[in-house]
C-alpha cells in the first residue's frame, strides 16, 4: 500500500545528521503508515544513551513501525511502540551485565551518590523518568483513514491545523520568558531595544534556559499522568487507557477559522482528572453547540474525553478521521507555525527567527535560536494526499 508523498524533509538543528532526533516513516514497508517521530531533548545527567536518548527513542520507534501490521488500530500502535521501548530497556544494557550507572549488576553496592543500585536498566528508568527514552509521534493509518497524535507532534488537514501544545510547555515557556526579560533589566542594556539582527543579539549560551532547567527535569514527573500538567509521551510506561480525544475536522472553505475543529464526545466514563462531574457537565452544556458527532469519526477502543473547540489536544491522545483525497501534513514541533506547504512553513520559521530570536515574545518556548545551530529544534515535515 504505497502513498504518494508531495513533499518531505527532516533537518536536525545540528550539522551532524546523526544527532537529528526527528525522523520520518514513509512507505518504508508498504504497510500504509506515514509518521513523524520526535525524540525528546534529554534533561538527564546520567549519559546512558548513545548518541542521545532522543535519537535512540526515535530509531526504536521507527523500527517498531516497520513491524506494524496494516490493520493495527490506535491502541494496538500504542502497545507496539511502548513494548518496543520497554524491550530496549530490557536488552540494551542488561545483556552486558551493567545497569544505568555503569555498575556491574553482578556485584552488590551503590554508586557514590546513592541514587543507583545493582539492577536492570528497566528497574532504574522505572524510578528515574528523566533517564527514560522519550518521544512524541504523529501517525497516519491508510487502512483506517485516521491520524493519531501521540504527544505534541502536529497535523494539518486541508489547511486546518490541529494544536497540540502541552499546558506544562506553556507554563515553562512563560517562565523562561520571565527569566530572560528579568536578566535583561539587571544589566546596562535594559534601556536598549533588541537588535533586529538575531546573529548580533543571540547569546550562544541560554542562561534563561539554565534557570528553568530544574523545572524541565521536574516535568517528567507528569509524563503519562492525567490532570492539568499531565501529558502523553512514549517512554515505555504509557497508560493503556490514556484518554483519547476524537477530533472532527470541518470541511468546506466557508467554515470560519474559529470553527475549523469540532470536538466530539464519544463516551466519558470518567471525568478528567482535577474536575468534578458537575464541572465537566457544565463545560459540556455551555458549549453544546460546538459539538458535532460524525459517523466517519474514529471509534476509540477505550475512553475518550471532550475538550472545547478553543482547546488543544494537550495531555491526551488525538484521533482524527480523514477522507480519501484530503491534503494531510504531519510535522514535528520544530515548525512552531505550520503552513499548508513546506516552503511556507520554512518562511514562517525564518520570520520568527528575525522577529523573536530568543523565542521569549511572540512564541514563548523553553529554548531559543542560537548562532551555532540551524534552528531552535530539529524539524520534520511531510505532506501527502490521503
Give the model confidence (pLDDT) of 64-108 as tens digits. 999 999 999 999 999 999 999 999 999 876 543 444 454 444 333
Q: What is the pLDDT of residues 159-191, one digit of tens each?
A: 999 878 889 999 999 999 999 999 989 865 544
Task: Calculate mean pLDDT across residues 318-333.
Answer: 96
Write the CB contacts of 357 (distance below 8 Å, at least 6 apart in sequence): 194, 198, 201, 202, 368, 369
What does the pLDDT read at residue 256?
31
Residue 313 pLDDT exceeds 80:
no
Say whether pLDDT at 273 is over 70: no
Averaged pLDDT, 52-57: 96
Per the DSSP assignment, residues forming a β-bridge with 261 are: 249
Give the model's pLDDT for residue 120.
81
Structure-model confidence comparison of residues 118 and 367, the more confident one: 367
| Domains, the chain, with CATH or none | 5-163+241-350+377-385 (3.60.40)
Task: Flag whether pLDDT at 264 surpasses 50.
Answer: no
Per-residue confidence (pLDDT) for residue 331, from 0 to 100: 98
Instruction: Provide the 3-class DSSP secondary structure of residue 188.
Output: helix
Query: Tell me, what's the pLDDT at 187?
Result: 65
* Average predicted confidence (pLDDT) for the chain: 78
What CA–CA distance (Å, rounded) separates 120 from 131?
13
Tell me what the mean pLDDT of segment 43-50 comes to.
87
pLDDT at 280 over 60: no
3 state DSSP class of 300:
coil
**What would the mean pLDDT of 205-211 be, rounded to a whole number?**
90
Q: Which pLDDT score is estimated for 249?
A: 78
State how far the Cα of 8 lies from the Cα of 345, in Å rounded to an integer: 12
Residue 230 pLDDT exceeds 70: yes
Match 463516551 to its residue by C-alpha cell.
267
Note the pLDDT of residue 204. 53
Residue pair 382/226 in contact (Cβ under 8 Å)? The answer is: no
Give residue 329's pLDDT band: very low, low, confident or very high (50, 70, 90): very high
Lowest mean pLDDT among 7-11, 186-190, 239-243, 255-259: 255-259
CB 332 within 8 A of CB 380: yes
Q: In this predicted model, which residue has the larger pLDDT, 93 or 23?
A: 23
Q: Is the pLDDT of residue 37 over 80?
A: yes
State the average pLDDT over residues 280-308: 34
With cell 525528546, the residue in question is 40
Omega before 313 cis (within 30°)? no
How confident is residue 251, by pLDDT bands cut at 50, 70 and 90? low
The Cα 358–Cα 356 span in angstroms is 6
pLDDT tops 70 at residue 141: yes
Cell, residue 250: 470541518
Q: What is the pLDDT of residue 305?
A: 34
Sheet holding 33-39: strands in order across? 22-26, 33-39, 135-141, 146-150, 317-321, 244-249, 261-264
- Give the C-alpha separation, 35 to 47, whole Å: 28
Q: Which of 135, 153, 121 is nearest to 53 (CA)?
A: 135
Amino acid at each position: 500500500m504505497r502513498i504518494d508523498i508531495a513533499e518531505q524533509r527532516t533537518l536536525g538543528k545540528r550539522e551532524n545528521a546523526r544527532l537529528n532526533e526527528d525522523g520520518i516513516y514513509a512507505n518504508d514497508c508498504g504497510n500504509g503508515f506515514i509518521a513523524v517521530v520526535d525524540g525528546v531533548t534529554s534533561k538527564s545527567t546520567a549519559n546512558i544513551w548513545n548518541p542521545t536518548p532522543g535519537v535512540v527513542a526515535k530509531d526504536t520507534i521507527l523500527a517498531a513501525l516497520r513491524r506494524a501490521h496494516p490493520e493495527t488500530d490506535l491502541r494496538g500502535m500504542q502497545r507496539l511502540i511502548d513494548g518496543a521501548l520497554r524491550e530496549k530497556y530490557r536488552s540494551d544494557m542488561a545483556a552486558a551485565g551493567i545497569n544505568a550507572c555503569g555498575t556491574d549488576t553482578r556485584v552488590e553496592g551503590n554508586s557514590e551518590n546513592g541514587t543507583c543500585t545493582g539492577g536492570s536498566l528497566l528497574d532504574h528508568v522505572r524510578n528515574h523518568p528523566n533517564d527514560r527514552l522519550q518521544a512524541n509521534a504523529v501517525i497516519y493509518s491508510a487502512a483506517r483513514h485516521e491520524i493519531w497524535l501521540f504527544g505534541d507532534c502536529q497535523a494539518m488537514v486541508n489547511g486546518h491545523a490541529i494544536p497540540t501544545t502541552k499546558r506544562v510547555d506553556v507554563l515553562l515557556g512563560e517562565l523562561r520568558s520571565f527569566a530572560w526579560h528579568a536578566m535583561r533589566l539587571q544589566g546596562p542594556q535594559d534601556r536598549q531595544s533588541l537588535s533586529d539582527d538575531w546573529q548580533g543579539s543571540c547569546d550562544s549560551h541560554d542562561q534563561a534556559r539554565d534557570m528553568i532547567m530544574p523545572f524541565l527535569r521536574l516535568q517528567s514527573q507528569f509524563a503519562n499522568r492525567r490532570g492539568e500538567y499531565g501529558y502523553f509521551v512514549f517512554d515505555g510506561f504509557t497508560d493503556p487507557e490514556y484518554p483519547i480525544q476524537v477530533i472532527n475536522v470541518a470541511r468546506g472553505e466557508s467554515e470560519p477559522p474559529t470553527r475549523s475543529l469540532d470536538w466530539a464526545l464519544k463516551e466519558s466514563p470518567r471525568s478528567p482528572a482535577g474536575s468534578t462531574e458537575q464541572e465537566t457537565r457544565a463545560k459540556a452544556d455551555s458549549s453544546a453547540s460546538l459539538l458535532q458527532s460524525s459517523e466517519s469519526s474514529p471509534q476509540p477502543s477505550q475512553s475518550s474525553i471532550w475538550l472545547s473547540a478553543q482547546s488543544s489536544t494537550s495531555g491526551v491522545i488525538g484521533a482524527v478521521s480523514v477522507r480519501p483525497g484530503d491534503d494531510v501534513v504531519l510535522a514535528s514541533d520544530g515548525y512552531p507555525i505550520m503552513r499548508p506547504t513546506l516552503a511556507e512553513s520554512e518562511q514562517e520559521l525564518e520570520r520568527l527567527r528575525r522577529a523573536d530570536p530568543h523565542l521569549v515574545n511572540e512564541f514563548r518556548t523553553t529554548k531559543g535560536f542560537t548562532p551555532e545551530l540551524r534552528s531552535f529544534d530539529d524539524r520534520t515535515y511531510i505532506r501527502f494526499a490521503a
